[in-house]
Amino acid sequence: LLIRKESRGVRNSESHQNTIKGKIVKRQELINDSTNKDHLNQVIKQQLTGFVIELNPENKDLIYELNILNHMLLFISKSSEPYSTISRHYRQIAKEFQNKFP
């Protein structure tokens, strides 16, 4: 199983570097399945969660479970006229700025 390097807290792993389309990509392989079950679950959640998530009662704890070190918050009413445009632009640039904040 391969894991993105930016996932936090993975222990007992081996790091590798590959070149894909001219870019160096770091990855990690889990060595011991039983000791990394919690970390694996966390990584799976990270991969299945979008870069932008709505804060609501159902997913409010997800931010903490994913061990995301930096957050950017956007407060906007879903009933406001520019909601869809602002939300779309916010999602488009989220990937560009991933892991670029101190």
Rg of the Cα atoms in the chain: 16
Q: Where are the domains of the chain?
A: 1-40, 49-102
**pLDDT tens profile 15-48:** 555 555 566 656 666 556 565 677 767 776 766 6
Strand partners, 44: none
pTM: 0.47
Q: Which residue has the tokens 């079950």?
A: 37
DSSP calls for 52-89 = S----TTTTTHHHHTT-S--------TTSTTHHHHHHH
How many CB atoms sit inside 10 A of residue 88's CB? 10
Rounded to whole angstroms, the Cα distance separating 31 from 75 reads: 41
